[in-house]
Chains A and B, each alone.
Chain A
Amino acid sequence: MRKGKIKLFLIVWILLLWTIRIINVNQRAVVESVEISMRETFGYNGLSITALEAHLYSIPEFEAAMDAEVEAGDDEFEIVCVKFRIKNETGKALGWDKVMDEMGYGFETLTWYSAIDPFLGAKINFFSLESLESGGEAEAWFATQVMKECFREINWKKLDENEFYYVMDLYPNPVKVKLEIMEET
């Protein structure tokens, strides 16, 4: 009887200590995410960036709007894209590859995510200069495919009801642009 009580006491004591540890671990490491809205200008790695417009296009809509061809094959997908105004404030000229590299990770909703598709980007972005000059400004599109196979049928039908985010940075704190998807007429 006495042995049983000691065992119980030890178990309760260990559980209590571990619960305190769990609380400490979770309080210590709070990561605040920074949310930026459309048309809000923010600085990032020497670039001044503003999200201008965002769309969720079907393939024909995308081809018509961007005057670009998309190879769909058997896949069923829509395309989410966002246009940014990028101003170079680094004090030196930046090559376009460098600019594109600096422009974040990709798109996400609550239950879906995808990195930027550079091949789509190459089809819809045309720059007249070799690089983005210091103090210069440019507008660039970033896009990716939203594959139907990632979604349940019921959620695919109401895809436009999702809240889309463009993820600029993840470390140390996530920086995300909340996209206002424009209604297509």
Chain B
Amino acid sequence: MMRNAVLFECKRGFRSRGFRVSCLIGFSICILDLFFFCKVFWQDLDSKIASQAWIGTDFQLAFNNLYYVLFPILAALPFGGSYYQDLKTGYVKNLCIKISRKEYFAAKSIAVFLTAFAAAAMPLLLNLILCMGIVPLHTPEKLTFLNAGILDRNLFAEIFYTVPALYCVLFILLDGVFAGILAMYSVCIAERVESAFSAIAAPFAVYILSGVALMGAQEGNWSVMEMVNPLQFCTTRAEQLLICMAGGSAIAAIVIILKGRKKDFL
């Protein structure tokens, strides 16, 4: 029964209009980044490498900032507002006749997480695949000062200078996980907001406000906004990353589990 509920919710999520719109925005930003990179550096494209062109580590154009500012919206848009809509339309009552509340929330959380993961990771992955077919995957020459300024104190620094593609893939996975966690906050907050838009915008507000308030410097950083960006303007220590990931998902999971126990739809 649980398996069916998960499949049903995932199907709803991946076929939703929100998922398509989110993918459209994400893909547009990533393709525009590559287009303008090629346009600007057309004359000396032969001397460029994939880690300069990939949107995650491209510091020369503004699309990296745009993508990582819109990141929580891209994550929550696919299915983040669906729990609010299920509540408002009464659809949740129909579902909870057939499955338990716990199963409903478990299925909803999994679907929200997976759609957010896909919506955030797919554009980055497509951009990387396109970059690899245009410019080579060489290791960056540090003293050209034309690459992301990754140093020893940054996360995955050794990987960036030995296997740059793996660095990109690691950050794509990391971003996907954070996108999933952020989108789950839309489910957490659904009863407290007045519209689906507010539910979708809530992770964005948390992301931006905490991002600015908790932004660190050389000694460490607690801002998720800085953690997800592969350019790593702030130094994030591995333990900070793990604590944020575990803490963020634990808070969302606890709120959703409590809802599953207490909330009565019928």
User: B133, A111: Cβ atoms under 8 Å?
Assistant: no
User: B46, A29: Cβ atoms under 8 Å?
Assistant: yes
Asked if A3 CB lies within 8 Å of chain B CBs, one says no
Asked if A151 CB lies within 8 Å of chain B CBs, one says yes
Closest to A28 in B: B136
Contact mask for chain A residues 1-30; partner B; CB cutoff 8 A; 1 contact, 0 none: 000000000000000001001100110110
Cβ of B150: which chain A residues have Cβ within 8 Å of it?
111
User: B143, A18: Cβ atoms under 8 Å?
Assistant: no
Query: Please, how many angstroms separate the alpha-carbon atoms of A74 and B142 in the complex?
Result: 26
Cβ of B138: which chain A residues have Cβ within 8 Å of it?
29, 31
Which of B18-26, B155-163, B199-207 lies on the face that meets chain A?
B155-163
Contact mask for chain B residues 143-182; partner A; CB cutoff 8 A; 1 contact, 0 none: 1100000111100011001100000000000000000000
Which of A50-58, A93-101, A102-110 lies on the face that meets chain B?
A102-110
Cβ of B136: which chain A residues have Cβ within 8 Å of it?
25-26, 28-29
Q: How many A-B residue pairs have CB under 8 A?
A: 59
Q: Assuming A26-B136, A152-B153, is B161 touching A110 (CB within 8 A)?
A: yes
Cβ of A113: which chain B residues have Cβ within 8 Å of it?
142-143, 151
Cβ of A110: which chain B residues have Cβ within 8 Å of it?
158, 161-162
Asked if A34 CB lies within 8 Å of chain B CBs, one says no
- In the assembled complex, how far is the CB of residue A145 from the closest CB belonging to chain B, in whole angstroms? 14
Query: Please, how many angstroms separate the alpha-carbon atoms of A113 and B152 in the complex?
Result: 10
Closest to B47 in A: A171
Asked if A82 CB lies within 8 Å of chain B CBs, one says no
Asked if A174 CB lies within 8 Å of chain B CBs, one says yes
Q: Which of B215-255 contact A (CB under 8 A)?
A: 218, 237
Q: Assuming A25-B133, A111-B157, is B152 touching A150 (CB within 8 A)?
A: yes
Cβ of B47: which chain A residues have Cβ within 8 Å of it?
171
Asked if B129 CB lies within 8 Å of chain A CBs, one says yes
Query: Please, how many angstroms separate the alpha-carbon atoms of A18 and B134 in the complex?
Result: 10
Query: Please, how many angstroms separate the alpha-carbon atoms of A31 and B135 in the complex?
Result: 13
Asked if A80 CB lies within 8 Å of chain B CBs, one says no
Cβ of A31: which chain B residues have Cβ within 8 Å of it?
138
User: A170, B133: Cβ atoms under 8 Å?
Assistant: no
- A residues contacting the other copy or chain, number (CB 8 A): 26
Closest to B134 in A: A25
Asked if B132 CB lies within 8 Å of chain A CBs, one says yes
Contact mask for chain B residues 168-198; partner A; CB cutoff 8 A; 1 contact, 0 none: 0000000000000000000000000000000
Q: Which of B129, B141, B144, B152 contacts A111, CB < 8 Å?
A: B152
Kindly name the residue among B46, B144, B162 whose own CB sees the greatest number of chain A CB atoms within 10 A.
B144
Asked if A132 CB lies within 8 Å of chain B CBs, one says no
Asked if A115 CB lies within 8 Å of chain B CBs, one says yes
Asked if B122 CB lies within 8 Å of chain A CBs, one says no
Asked if A177 CB lies within 8 Å of chain B CBs, one says no
Asked if B69 CB lies within 8 Å of chain A CBs, one says no
Task: Tell me the B residues contacting A by CB distance below 8 Å.
Answer: 46-47, 129, 132-138, 141-144, 150-153, 157-158, 161-162, 218, 237
Task: Tell me the A residues contacting B by CB distance below 8 Å.
Answer: 18, 21-22, 25-26, 28-29, 31, 105-106, 108-113, 115, 149-152, 155, 167, 170-171, 174
Kindly list the 5 A-B residue pairs having the minimum CB-CB distance in the complex, ordered from nearest: A113-B142, A111-B152, A111-B157, A29-B136, A105-B143
A-B contact pairs, 29 of them (CB 8 A): A18-B129, A18-B133, A22-B129, A22-B137, A25-B133, A25-B135, A25-B136, A29-B46, A29-B136, A29-B138, A105-B143, A108-B143, A109-B152, A110-B158, A110-B161, A111-B151, A111-B152, A111-B158, A112-B142, A112-B151, A113-B151, A149-B218, A150-B151, A151-B151, A151-B152, A151-B153, A170-B141, A170-B144, A171-B47
